[in-house]
Each structure stands twice: as structure tokens, then as C-alpha cells.
Amino acid sequence: MDGPYAREITVAITAVQNAVQISSRVLAAKDKGVVEKEDQTPVTVADLAIQALLTASIHASFPDDSFVGEESSKALRASPSLLEAVWALLQEVRESGACVPASREQLCDMLDWCGNGEPSSGRFWVFDPIDGTKAFIRGQNYAINVCLMSGGKQAMSCVGIPMLSPTHTGPINNDTTDSEGSIMIATLGGGVYIRPLAGSPDLPPRRLPRRTADASTRLTAVTCVEGTDSAVPGLNTKVAARLGITYPGNDLLAWVLRWAVCGLGAADCTVWVYRKRERRGKIWDHAGAILLFEEAGGKVSDVHGRPIDFMAGRTMTGNFGFVGALEGVHGHVLATVQDIVKEEGLLDLLQ
């Protein structure tokens, strides 16, 4: 692809392709190397190895850039056996030409560059090595998210979707498992594209259309049916019923995939209102992935209607919840969400 981020895109595509080699090896293994983190969410050897690979690959080409990522080295430093398992995975892909950390200590340090990283005013990269880890462990749909932030804005997005074909039609769910994967790419103001996962980084991608909507448009949603421990119970179904939205339309655990299917055109909107006021999104679940939808004609705000602030920190403390819809209907969808929250007696969520 041409444009101001052509080199970044080429490097990111290569890194994502190498990362999928790791995730595919772990998927094929009986033992996924699952560790439970302090927040009771799972992490696998694939998450750790992929984040290290992405960091090493990007750092080799852009040594002045910084990083923010989901994982740190805490689990590796506490478990020599886990460290060796991750190191072994990286050595396997090194043999095929992938750029990986040069030593075990550098592996841990690079994980900590991400795990301790914070948004900055300059250039920084955001990684979610495996978004949808629970689905990944089950052998279901997951994504690898790479985003370049510059000047506080999403500049470039490169998302690997190993189980989704670039020609897929119909609903996209957790158990959608095409044999051919894809990569989605977007640049700020440059549109959104899709290409097969395999092939040269220079393979021309297909541009996806920028879509519009108005009050007469029949919308399709993407949501997470199993996310009732996080979202206000029943709110998504009530919003869909009031707006005449096809629901669930698409059912996905991973946030990156939810934004991606909106960018693809398989969905036109997604809504999420956390059941607790203190809940916030994580930057690696949204940065870059939201750009895929915005470049396809989407608009994304929080439940209050505020723009998404990616500079508020690793935990996105400047926003509460998400309302994404094609720009022409975003205001109507947002107002409907707010009305239903009020009707449910949850006024504290709008304060």
C-alpha cells in the first residue's frame, strides 16, 4: 500500500503473519500453557510469545517508538518453566526468519516495555497479542491487534484474523472458523482494506466501501452474548428491539473482532454499557480496531456521547462504555441507549 505509513504497514503485516505461526502452533497443542492473571483473566504462552515477537519486530524497524501492550513479564519471571516454554516457541519461528528477542532477559524486558507502557504524545504502538483469549483456548475466533498511535490519534491499524476468510459472507460468530485467514488494515483518512493472511506483505489489499445509513436503514448488530458479567443485563436486547436492529446478528467475545466486523460491513452498530460505573475499556482492545470501523463510515463514542480518548491511560478512564454505529444513525442509537438506561433506573451510570 502507498501512503505515509507504507513502511509501517509492511512491517506490521510481516509481524502479524509471524505471530500467527505462534498462535497456530499453540492451538494445535494439547497444553495451551494457560496461566490465570491477578484479574482472573487467562493468558497463554501464545499471548506472551506473540507480544514479545511484535515488540521485537517493530523495535527493529522503528527503534525510537514506544509501546503499550496487555502483557508483562511478571508470570515469566516467577516461573522458569513458563519462560522456557515461551522462549522455545520464539526459537521455532526464529528459524523461519521472524524477528524475536535475542535473549531470555530481553524477552522479559520487551514484555515489560509494553506491560509498563503508557500513552504518550509521540509515536507509540499498541498490541493485543491475542484478543479473545478465552475463545482462543476453545479453538474459536480471535484476533491479533497492532495499532500505531501518533499525536494522540489512531494513525494505522493492522489486525490479523486467522479464522476469518476475506471473502466470508454471513454472520460472524465465535465459532466461525474459515480455513483461510485475513488481515485488515486502515490508516487515518486513508480507508480500510482487507487481504488474505498469507502472501507477500506487498500483496494489494481490497478496499472496503465507506457506508452510510439513515433512519430507514435496517441495522445489524455485533455483541457478546456471554458478556453478561460485564454489561448491564438485557440492555442490548432492549436497544435492538426498540431500534429494529437484527440481534444478535454477530456474536463475538473479542472486542477487536467486534470493531472489525463493523468495518467489514457484517455489522453496523455495537453497544456496551458496563454494569458498574468503575469499569473501563482497555486501550489494547480498542485502539486501531475502532479505526477499522471509522474508516468504513462509523462513529464511536462512549455512553455519554464523548469521543473516545486513547490518551487517558492504559485503562481508558476518560470514557464509560461504547456506542458505535454508522455516522448517520449514531445520534439516534446513542439517544436510545441513554433513554433505556434511564428507564432501567440506572441514572448513576450516566453521571
pLDDT given for residue 29 in this prediction: 87
The residue written with cell numbers 455485533 in the block is 222
Residues 6+ apart with CB under 8 A from 78: none
Which numeric CATH code is attached to 220-350? 3.40.190.80
Write the pLDDT tens digit of every residue in 166-217. Answer: 999 989 999 999 999 999 999 999 999 999 999 999 999 999 999 999 999 9
Q: Which residues are annotated as a binding site for Mg(2+)?
A: 70, 128, 130-131, 285
Taking the C-alpha atoms of residue 143 and residue 19, their distance in angstroms, rounded to an integer, is 11
Taking the C-alpha atoms of residue 119 and residue 351, their distance in angstroms, rounded to an integer, is 26
Q: What angle do CA 287, 66, 182 make, to 5 degrees?
A: 45
Taking the C-alpha atoms of residue 251 and residue 171, their distance in angstroms, rounded to an integer, is 8
Write the pLDDT tens digit of every residue in 277-322. Answer: 999 999 999 999 999 999 999 999 999 999 999 999 999 999 999 9
Report the predicted TM-score, pTM, of the whole model to 2 decimal places.
0.96
pLDDT given for residue 32 in this prediction: 74
Q: Which residues are annotated as a binding site?
A: 70, 128, 130-131, 285
The residue written with cell numbers 435492538 in the block is 240
Cell numbers for 181, please give them: 485467514
Q: Which sequence spans correspond to the domains of the chain?
A: 6-207, 220-350
Cell numbers for 206, please give them: 481490497
Per DSSP, 349 falls in state G
Alpha helices per DSSP H over the chain:
6-28, 45-61, 74-78, 80-94, 104-115, 133-137, 235-243, 255-264, 283-286, 289-294, 327-343
Residues 6+ apart with CB under 8 A from 58: 11, 12, 15, 65, 67, 125, 146
Task: Give the CATH class of 6-207.
Answer: alpha beta
Write the pLDDT tens digit of every residue in 51-65. Answer: 999 999 999 999 999
Evaluate if residue 254 carries a pLDDT over 60. yes
Give phi and psi for 224, each to the nearest 5: -125, 100
Confidence bin at 111 (pLDDT 50/70/90): very high
Evaluate if residue 26 carries a pLDDT over 80. yes
pLDDT given for residue 161 in this prediction: 98
pLDDT given for residue 263 in this prediction: 98
Evaluate if residue 152 carries a pLDDT over 70. yes
Confidence bin at 39 (pLDDT 50/70/90): low
Indicate if 220-350 has the same CATH topology as 6-207.
Answer: no
Average of per-residue pLDDT across 91-100: 96
Give phi and psi for 270, each to the nearest 5: -150, 140
Cell numbers for 11, please give them: 512491517
Average of per-residue pLDDT across 118-142: 96
- Residue type at 266? A
Cell numbers for 219, please give them: 441495522
Do 161 and 252 touch, CB atoms closer than 8 A?
no
Evaluate if residue 40 carries a pLDDT over 60. no
Taking the C-alpha atoms of residue 320 and residue 316, their distance in angstroms, rounded to an integer, is 8
Taken in order 10, 15, 18, 19, the sign of the CA dihedral is negative
